[in-house]
Every structure is written in C-alpha cells, then in structure tokens.
C-alpha cells in the first residue's frame, strides 16, 4: 500500500461522505477506495470510518487523522510545487566555478547582466584553477578551459579560446622575429606551468625537444606572464582573453606565422535530464553573450 495514496483516498471519502463519490473524484474504482481505507485501518489498528447505508462518517480517531493528514498532504503539495518551480523558474542560488584569471577579467559583466535579466537569482562565484568536484562542492556549473575530454559530466562549448605567440615590440626589435619553431626556441619563453609547449605548437619538429627551449621564468598564473611579456622579458603563448587589450594597445605584438591548437571554454554540469532552469538559462546566456567571436578577439 502506498501511504500517500491511501491518505488521499481516505480524505476524499471524508470530504465527499461516500466511497462512490470519492472514487469518482479520484477517477478510480469504488472497490479500490474501499481497499485503501481497509488497509489504512488495518495498519493503524483503528476504525476510521463508520459506514451506514447512505453515508460514511469519520470516527473521532478518523476525524483527527483527517485533520492531520490534510496538513501533511498540503505540505507535500507545497514541497512538490516548490521543486517544480525550481525546475521551471529562473530563481534560487546558482553556484558557479571559473578559472581565476578568466573569472577576474571576463565574468563580472555577464553575471551582472544575467542577474539584471533574472533578478530572483543569487550567484556564488568561486574562482580557482583547480578542477572542482561539482557534486562534493555543490557547484551547479563549472567553466573550464581546455580540450574536451571524456568525462562523466555533461559539457557544452561556450566560446572558442585562441592562443597566440606574443612579445613586446621592443623585444622583437632587439632579438628579431622568429620564423619557425626552431628559431622561437632560442628566444626566452615565459612558460605557463600548466601547459606543455609541445602540445601547443604544430607541426612540431621531430628533432626538437621541449628541453631545447630557453626559459628563465615560469608561473602558474597567466596574468603575471602577460605582464612580464609587456615588460620585454620574453615571449608568451597565452590566450587572447588575457592579451587582447595589450595587443589592441600595441603593448604586445602577435606572431601570425605560428599555428597553435585552439582550446575551448566549456560549461560542465552533472545531468542533462531534469536540468534546473537556472542552470540551463545561465549556460544558454553565456553562449549567447560570448558568441562565436568573443569580445576579447575584437582587436
């Protein structure tokens, strides 16, 4: 016996004063109504209804059970409506994880616009370069930059991420502009510790090793590397979302002769089925906001 169904059936009998009318209201058979009530009484070991030929009346215990069960059923209905609203309305708290540098430079404006469009949303933004565990840390959407790999998570590409070889114009004026990877390896490489230069530059010369690259500086933060490149310390291979403004202002110069495997900005989330409306709308909003040609590439 389903306790909730039995409770609803009993309440319908009390409200209608009849097994037949309760059956009509619930669109089930009178026999099933009688069965539910009998099972409920057997389980509670209490008579809930007094039956006459014309009408059904609740006993004292039945009336008490009816009043309490009405409260329970109302609370269940409220809970179900609240959950349904979470699925259909853009409201509640949205927890977002994003890479540190990208988040600082490019997330404030779209988040502001999203909240203006959906004022019932509260946003918690967590900036970190580590891969968060969405389930354990209660994150709704994680933004990650890289190449899409097999994962138990669902991923949607939000925007292309283009990487370029850049240095200050005065650095190239002093050391010359390299024409190929061999010549590039002899200049000072401002190395990003989370990436391998061999996985970025294509086609890679077979005779060349990553150990052949000259480098006197490395960092796990792209913003620092870009600033060092602007100061003329060496060249950097960084995404345009970090270097776009410096390129636009003439502080950095791009070497267009080098082909670099592109990356992507992806939104990762746990389940495609029954996806909360706030998550679905947020991902669609970001994809539209950044577009196929993101703003940082408009230099």
Q: What is the DSSP string of 46-86?
A: S--EEE-SS-EEE-HHHHHHHHHHHHHHHHHHHHHHHHHHH
**19: region left, alpha or beta (phi > 0 left; psi from -120 to 50 alpha):** alpha
Within 10 A of 47 (CB to CB), how many other CB atoms are there? Answer: 13
Residue pLDDT tens, the chain, 299 long: 588 888 888 888 888 888 888 888 888 998 998 898 889 888 888 898 988 767 888 888 888 888 888 888 877 776 765 665 555 578 889 999 999 999 999 999 999 999 999 999 999 999 998 888 888 888 999 999 987 765 667 888 999 999 999 999 999 999 999 999 999 999 999 999 988 898 888 888 989 999 999 999 999 999 999 999 999 999 999 999 999 999 999 999 999 888 888 889 999 988 755 578 888 889 999 999 998 788 888 76
* Helix (H), strand (E) at residue 240: helix 240-248
pTM: 0.68
Q: In sequence order, what are the residues at sequence separation of 6 or more whose Cβ sits closer than 8 angstroms to the Cβ of residue 254? A: 164, 165, 166, 247
CB contact at 8 A, 262 and 163:
yes
Nearest to 123 by CA among 104, 110, 136, 105: 110
Domains of the chain as residue ranges with CATH: 3-88 (1.10.10.10), 92-161+263-297 (3.40.190.10), 163-260 (3.40.190.10)
Query: Beta strands 92-98 and 141-146: pairing type?
Result: parallel
- How far, in Å, CA of 213 to CA of 113, rounded? 44
User: DSSP 3-state assignment of 155?
Assistant: strand
């Amino acid at each position: 016996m389903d306790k909730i169904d039995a409770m609803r059936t009993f309440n319908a009998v009390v409200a209608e004063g009849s097994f037949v009318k309760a059956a009509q209201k619930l669109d089930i058979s009178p026999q099933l109504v009688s069965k539910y009530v009998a099972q409920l009484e057997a389980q509670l070991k209490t008579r809930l209804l007094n039956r006459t030929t014309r009408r059904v009346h609740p006993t004292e215990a039945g009336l008490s059970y009816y009043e309490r069960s009405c409260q329970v059923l109302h609370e269940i209905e409220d809970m179900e409506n609240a959950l349904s609203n979470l699925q259909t309305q853009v409201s509640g708290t949205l927890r977002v994880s994003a890479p540190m540098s990208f988040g600082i430079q490019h997330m404030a404006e779209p988040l502001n616009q999203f909240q203006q469009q959906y004022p019932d949303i509260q946003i918690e933004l967590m900036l970190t370069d580590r891969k968060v565990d969405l389930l354990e840390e209660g994150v709704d959407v994680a933004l990650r930059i890289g190449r899409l790999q097999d994962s138990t998570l669902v991923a949607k590409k939000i925007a292309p991420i283009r990487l370029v070889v850049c240095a200050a114009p005065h650095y190239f004026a002093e050391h010359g502009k390299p024409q190929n990877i061999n010549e590039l390896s002899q200049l000072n490489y401002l190395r990003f510790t989370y990436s391998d230069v061999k996985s970025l530059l294509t086609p890679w010369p077979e005779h060349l090793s990553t150990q052949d690259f000259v480098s006197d500086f490395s960092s796990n933060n792209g913003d620092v590397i870009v600033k060092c490149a602007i100061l003329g310390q060496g060249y950097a291979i960084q995404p345009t979302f970090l270097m776009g403004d410096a390129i636009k202002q003439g502080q950095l110069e791009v070497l267009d002769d080098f082909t670099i495997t592109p990356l992507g900005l992806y939104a990762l989330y746990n389940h495609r089925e029954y996806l909360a409306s706030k998550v679905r709308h947020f991902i669609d909003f970001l994809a539209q906001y950044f577009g196929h040609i993101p703003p940082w590439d408009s230099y």
